[in-house]
Structure 1
């Protein structure tokens, strides 16, 4: 079947694009959020959206590229999504080949793709094109209405008795100075976690995280020992769903239940803001965090595979 491919940033196309992404990649983004993110000017990232239309003019597939500024270790993020009802008819291949022709015109060392771990078609499609599995993110959800917070009161008390205090980024100010401290804390606690060996620059962090639609300074919950920031629980809100985007603790402060106390703080935050569910994801190799989430009553939901391909 023949498909018409065209690059787009026209808002009128994004209702169909968002609906397709929600169906295929389980993305929670609305058409407005997606269009805003993809048309926002950036000094470090080029975003490119292509759609495939069938003979009736209906959008049945899309590709999304995010290209980092050229560098020896630069990478490009590519997602190809096709409506399951229109798969195995050439639309995915056409979108992929069009995207690869564009990528080869720009300097990039690595191609990254990601998709739900229950999408066997997507895994097979990527594997056949030379991608290899890099990470398996397992996702969990917590029912906030039934969560028994008093049951864990002693955890927070025990951590505070160690001299650890908790506050939000909003309490000290969401200034560039404190965003730098937040960046340093994220970087330290991320790079020694399973599956993490790279981290963006400060400029990329500010653009990708601190200006993201989900980012809230009052949802960046920090654990400190004196003036030293030693742990972080980051939570964002999307409707009635809250996302625990990251939890990390400095290595020398681990095994003191600080991560658990931070997680409890993120749960409190989500409850206070009317969320009914809190979602979290971890690398499948991070057994410590997985055990803690099981203890708190999280249950599994579809996760995500991340696959990579070196560009020759």
Structure 2
């Protein structure tokens, strides 16, 4: 039986990020630094680090299965027209990469939240929420009006975080949501 993924969308024009600003400040006060792949440099070394972080974080996705090989990852996630290193928010703790939020701008005109992941030892402090807020800022800066995402129905933490931000069920045809 196929899994019915939870598809969500956020109206970026109606989103009020000011109500979440204290959370972002709080994360920065705990020593977490936020940056982007573009700011750090979209180098081969950083792409490898992103791959390793994404692979580790993806292990928590229910029924994820085998993660890409590095070459597959490059071909399917990096060396594609929608890849933009400005859309990859990274959370750093003492220089170590501990979290990522990847957002792309799709040809249909919406933004797509591809992955938000955080190493287990850093969870529960609002870091994922802060990364998602920065990803929303990226999507807005690119002139999009809708941010879409989808989750396995057993991924309650991710679904809950998105719903707290104001994401609602997305009934758009599947082709438009991916």
Match of 1:150 in 2: 18
1:217 to 85, 89, 94: 85
Query: Any residues of structure 2 matched to 1:34-113 within 5 Å, and which?
Result: none
Other structure's SS at 2:80 match: coil
How far apart in 1 are the matches of 2:133 and 2:63?
25
Which deviations, in whole Å up to 9, do the C-alpha atoms of 1:170-191 show, x marking residues without a partner? 1121111110000000000001
How far, CA to CA, are the matches of 1:148 and 1:237 in structure 2? 21
**TM-score, normalising length from structure 1?**
0.53
Equivalent of residue 163 in structure 2, options 261, 286, 294: 294
**What displacement does 1:291 show?**
1.1
Superposed, 1:118-129 pairs within 5 Å as: none
Q: Alignment partner for residue 125 of structure 2, among 236, 239, 256?
A: 256
* In structure 2, distance between residues paired with 1:193 and 1:158: 27
Q: Structure 2-normalised TM-score?
A: 0.92
2:27 aligns with: 159
Q: Which residue of 1 aligns with 2:97?
A: 229
Write the distance in 1 (CA, Å) between the matches of 2:115 and 2:4.
16
1:177 aligned onto 2:54: no
Q: What's the CA shift for 1:213?
A: 1.6
In 1: Cα distance, 2:65 partner to 2:125 partner:
25
1:267-282 alignment, distance < 5 Å = 267-282=136-151
* Residue segments in structure 1 that go unaligned for 5+ positions in a row: 1-131, 305-312
Q: Distance in 2 between matches of 1:177 and 1:227?
A: 14
Distance 1:266 1:194 in 2: 23
Cα deviation for residue 251 of structure 1 reads 0.9
* Greater strand proportion: 1
For 2:101 and 2:136, how far apart are their aligned partners in 1? 10
Which entry has the higher C-alpha Rg, 1 or 2? 1
Between the aligned partners of 1:162 and 1:230, the Cα distance in structure 2 is 14
Using the TM superposition, give the Cα deviation of residue 197 of structure 1 relative to its aligned residue in structure 2, in angstroms: 3.1
Q: Residues of 2 paired with 1:260 and 1:149: CA distance?
A: 11
CA shift, 1:296, in A, is 0.9
Q: CA deviation at 1:138?
A: 1.1
The 2-side partners of 1:267 and 1:176 are apart by 26
What is the alpha-carbon root mean square deviation over aligned residues? 1.3
Q: Which runs of 5+ in 2 are unaligned?
A: none
Moved over 3 A (4+): none
Shift of 1:221: 0.8
Quick one: distance in 2 between partners of 1:267 and 1:206? 24
Show the counterpart of 1:307.
none
**Number of residue pairs aligned between Structure 1 and Structure 2:** 172
Structure 1 CA distance for aligned equivalents of residues 46 and 4 of structure 2: 32
